[in-house]
């Protein structure tokens, strides 16, 4: 009998990552493709998904009838039961049924969920949080995403809208966030928030090598890493500020859920995980009850870019 495979996808506003997993849950083939998501062209993103799957099958030599299922993480509010994308901030989808055309094209089941939820699922099933029943996940990138595992299962809340704690308000009189609120965690701690602070300081005449590295409102994580290595004071202040508010948010989540673990992922953590984790850990005790803190581990995500791919794999039923 021919070996069967699963295809998993990480669908983003600018790129889609694809991976083929064998029966032992090893990645045997990878592909990265640009996602052109401008305007209202829903078909374009759908075609990118189809082309990624087609290209991986062709290049790997695996036949269509050897695929058990396809699974994906994508940004936005997604009904995991129906495969309908209710809303996506970076993709042209509103109440869009992505499951039906993919299943029709490939003749296998298609699973999809919010990308950060799926990333936390990946860390829970295969990564840093394996074996933990209760997990709080912060994914720090251009924005701030969250995911919650409660009693061993992903918690999605009413309407699949839970865990948006990037928009936890920490300073009611703070800077305006894209969501319309003021003083959200995201506006302090994600790349957009750190970039705003750096540009603000540069406008005051302070020297920072990061001012020229900010494009479309954000810097590249590697540019921040280089600035810190060269002792850029403004860059360090932006990181300290980010970690300060992450420590407050972490303390609030520890007090609320008493998790086994808080796990931190995303592009910023991949580039600067030790720096961020050390600073958050050094401060978090100020913001949570000691009796609860003693049973909580703080860890960086272990799977890096693959956390969403492995989370997508974990959504596929084993039988």
- Buried b or exposed e, range 45-82, using 16+ CB within 10 angstroms: bbebbeebbeebbeebebeeeebbbbbbbbbbbbbbee
Residue 274: Cβ within 10 Å count: 9
| DSSP type of residue 217 | T
Contacts of 276 (CB under 8 A, 6+ apart): 140, 239, 242, 243, 246, 264, 268, 269, 300
**Residue 203 near residue 197, CB atoms below 8 Å:** no
Phi and psi, residue 255, nearest 5°: -65, -35
d(CA 317, CA 319): 5
Residue 162: Cβ within 10 Å count: 17
d(CA 98, CA 86): 10
The three-state secondary structure class of 247 is helix
Per the structure block, which two tokens stand in for 55?
A: 């290209």
Domain borders along the chain are 5-120+307-315, 131-302
d(CA 104, CA 100): 6
d(CA 119, CA 10): 9
Superfamily of domain 131-302: ATPase, nucleotide binding domain (3.30.420.40)
d(CA 45, CA 186): 27
Confirm whether 5-120+307-315 and 131-302 share one CATH topology: yes
Nearest CA to 142 out of 196, 104, 63 is that of: 196
Nearest CA to 18 out of 31, 5, 27 is that of: 31
Give, for all 319 residues of the chain, the pLDDT tens digit: 679 999 999 988 778 999 999 999 999 999 998 876 554 555 667 888 899 999 999 999 999 999 999 999 998 899 999 999 898 776 677 898 999 999 999 999 999 999 999 999 999 999 999 999 999 999 998 899 999 999 999 999 999 999 999 999 999 999 999 889 999 999 999 999 999 999 999 999 999 999 888 888 888 888 999 999 999 999 999 999 999 999 999 999 999 999 999 999 998 998 888 999 999 999 999 999 999 999 999 999 999 989 999 999 999 998 7
Per the structure block, which two tokens stand in for 38?
A: 């401008």
Region 5-120+307-315: CATH code: 3.30.420.40
**Paired sense of beta strands 84-87 and 77-79, if any:** antiparallel
């Amino acid at each position: 009998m021919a070996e069967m495979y699963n295809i998993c996808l990480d669908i983003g506003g600018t790129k889609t990552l694809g991976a083929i997993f064998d029966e032992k849950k090893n990645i045997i083939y990878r592909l990265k493709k640009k996602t052109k998501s401008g305007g209202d062209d829903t078909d374009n993103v759908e075609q990118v998904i189809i082309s990624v799957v087609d290209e991986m099958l062709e290049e790997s030599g695996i036949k269509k009838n050897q695929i058990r299922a396809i699974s994906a993480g994508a940004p936005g509010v997604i009904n995991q039961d129906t495969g309908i994308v209710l809303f996506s901030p970076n993709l042209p989808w509103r109440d869009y049924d992505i499951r039906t055309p993919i299943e029709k094209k490939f003749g296998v089941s298609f699973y999809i969920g919010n990308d950060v939820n799926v990333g936390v699922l990946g860390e829970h099933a295969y990564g840093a949080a394996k074996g933990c029943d209760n997990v709080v996940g912060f994914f720090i990138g251009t924005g701030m995403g969250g995911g919650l595992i409660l009693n061993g299962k992903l918690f999605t809340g009413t309407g699949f809208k839970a865990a948006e704690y990037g928009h936890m308000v920490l300073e009611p009189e703070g800077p305006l966030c894209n969501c319309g609120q003021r003083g959200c965690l995201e506006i302090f701690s994600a790349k957009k928030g750190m970039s705003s602070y750096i540009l603000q300081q540069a406008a005051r005449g302070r020297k920072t090598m990061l001012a020229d590295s900010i494009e479309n409102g954000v810097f590249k994580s590697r540019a921040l890493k280089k600035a810190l290595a060269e002792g850029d004071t403004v860059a360090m202040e932006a990181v300290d500020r980010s970690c300060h508010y992450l420590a407050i948010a972490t303390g609030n989540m520890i007090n609320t859920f008493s998790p086994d673990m808080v796990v931190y992922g995303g592009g910023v953590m991949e580039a600067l995980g030790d720096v961020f984790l050390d600073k958050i850990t050094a401060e978090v005790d100020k913001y949570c009850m000691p009796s609860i803190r003693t049973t909580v581990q703080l860890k960086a995500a272990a799977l890096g870019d693959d956390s969403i791919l492995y989370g997508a794999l974990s959504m596929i039923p084993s039988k």
